[in-house]
Chain A
Amino acid sequence: MSTAIEEKTVTCIVCPSGCVVRVVLKGGKIAGISGNMCRKGTDYAKTEVINPMRILTTTVRMEDNRLLPVKTERPLPKALIFDAMKELSHVRVKAPVKIGQVVYPNVADTGVNVVATRSWK
């Protein structure tokens, strides 16, 4: 395993302060965190550096060509967002749709479902 030292910066979004947090990584492990003004910044920066997660919101097409807004039920790894977009670009949903309904399960093999964020009659 490499023991190279790496430094990453993360802008914390927990509060409006927007602290720029410096994270030092040694061999892929966190060796130091600085620049944040509070404890929350430490946790945020850790997740951001190790495994950043995002909710994805987008649209899928209905069979009648209307657009259905959707979101991932939970955050998914940021790195997989474009894979998820590619998968969803082929999805066709049949009306009617109820808000919260799963329209695509296990997107990008993440175990996360994609659900409708509006109802369509």
Chain B
Amino acid sequence: MQNRELVIIGGGPAGLSAAVEARKLGIKDVLVIDRESEPGGILKQCIHTGFGLHIFNEELTGPEYAERFIEEAERLGVEIMLDTMVLELTADRRLVAINSREGLVEIKAKTVILAMGCRERTRGAINIPGFRPAGVFTAGTAQRFVNIEGYMPGRKIVILGSGDIGLIMARRLTLEGAEVQCVVEIMPYSNGLIRNVVQCLEDYDIPLLLKHTVVNIHGRKRVEGVTIAEVDDDMKPVMETARFVSCDTLLLSVGLIPENELSRMTNIEIDEVTGGPVVNQRLETSLPGIFACGNVLHVHDLVDYVTQEAVLAARGAALYLASGSKKYEHIPVVTGDNLRYVLPQRINVDAVLEGKVNFFMRSVRPMAKAELFIESEWGVIKSRTLRHVRPSEMISIQVSRDEMIGSEIIKFRLQEEGGRVEHGN
């Protein structure tokens, strides 16, 4: 049994950022465990730009962003255990991990940061009818094939879902000489960033079919085509509009799910909306000494926010190591109108005294203009006018100690201004 001060599960952007910050805060013994043979997580296959604007004030590619943190982690003496899979984690922070070199490793950690990231939603989760031939891939798997392994999953491609990975892959595959027939999106708006819609689709004349979905997959052995159809306002396909699109590959970019199998095994309280642990503003989960950050907590649109969140988790771990486990009093954070979720889900009252709290939230639908209200049992404590609210782009707001002090509940709600606007692309 090894004894460790801080064990970070996952060596992607969240885990590496947390490790670097933890060393900077003076935690001597920081161990990152990753199942891959290289650290960096999914960033290694995200070879496009768009990373680091907030943190480094420059536009980096995924591998560049990752390499900065990998180098810094090495420089600061972070230990990274690669090709290692954590099989078990207990509430008292005992871990069981395996790899080929050391076999089965048992570790007792004073603190743990969960940074396992997320996985892609699959075909089953959205029940696309049809056959089950070769040629149906999630966009991220296709990205790995193209950018890491050097293989083309297909030549003639339809993409379902207009999330950023789907858009990025539409361009990437086009550049590599594949023919992307169309991107099909069930919602009346794209789920990706506008710049991706413009630079990945419009630049290459790839049609974005909003309010459409795939209703059938054809081909016994390999995909031969898909049937797509428009959907009505209840998202039910209108079969009269169905048409066949010939293709050899269907890529799915239909959402990401925080990877919390380990957390569930440990009986950490999970928020069914975010799919991640319930945390306070120190990003401490329902189990003392276990923190979470990055996509395992909730799915982020920008890696910069992941890094910022990881810094908070590392600070939480450092505070915990300094002061030990305490029973905190929490006040609830309530998700009100037009919001899908607010994070953190609760506020540790003692920690409020330390200063500001960063809240992250997502709207349920796009709005051209909206007013965000933050209320306590005493009434509105803060409000802010927001423009161009989109479910795909996280809203963040800081609330200070003075604004929250004495409250027993904090509620967030979003009110649309100027009526409901259809905001497509």
Contact = CB atoms under 8 A, between A and B. Distances in A.
Interface in A8-45: 11, 13, 15-18
A18 B177 CA distance: 29
B213 to A, nearest CB: 23
A65 interface: yes
Contact of B63 (A13, A81, A117): A117
Contacts of B197: 11
Interface stretch (B102-110, B118-126, B230-238, B387-395): B387-395
Most buried by B among A55, A67, A71, A117: A117
B400 to A, nearest CB: 26
Contact of A11 (B47, B172, B198): B198
Contacts of B203: 54, 78
Given A57-B48, A58-B47, A71-B49, A17 B61 contact: no
A69 B425 CA distance: 31
Interface in A63-121: 65, 67, 69, 71, 78, 81-82, 85, 99, 117-119
B150 A57 contact: no
B393 A16 contact: yes
A88 B233 CA distance: 46
Interface in B4-52: 44, 47-49
Contacts of B67: 99, 118-119
B175 A81 contact: yes
Most buried by A among B44, B147, B150, B194: B194
Contact of B195 (A13, A57, A78, A99): A13
Most buried by B among A15, A58, A61: A58
Contacts of A118: 44, 63-64, 66-67
Interface string B128-155: 0000000000000000001111100000
A118 B64 CA distance: 6
B147 A69 contact: yes
B202 interface: yes
A16 B63 contact: no
B185 to A, nearest CB: 15
Give the size range of A's interface with the partner: 20 to 34
A62 B293 CA distance: 35
Contact of B150 (A15, A59, A117): A59
Contacts of B175: 56, 58, 81-82, 85
Given A11-B194, A69-B147, A57 B47 contact: yes
A85 to B, nearest CB: 5
A15 B387 CA distance: 10
Most buried by B among A61, A65, A71: A71
Nearest to B425: A18
Contacts of A55: 49, 59
Contact of B64 (A15, A54, A99): A99
B199 interface: yes
Interface in B310-345: none
Nearest to A16: B388
A31 B62 CA distance: 40
B63 A67 contact: no
A89 B146 CA distance: 13
Contacts of B172: 58
Nearest to B47: A69
A81 B51 CA distance: 21
B47 A59 contact: yes
Nearest to B177: A85
A119 B193 CA distance: 29
Contact of A16 (B49, B147, B194, B199): B194
Contacts of B48: 57
Interface of A: 11, 13, 15-18, 54-59, 61, 65, 67, 69, 71, 78, 81-82, 85, 99, 117-119
7 contacts: A11-B194, A13-B195, A16-B390, A67-B148, A71-B61, A117-B61, A118-B66
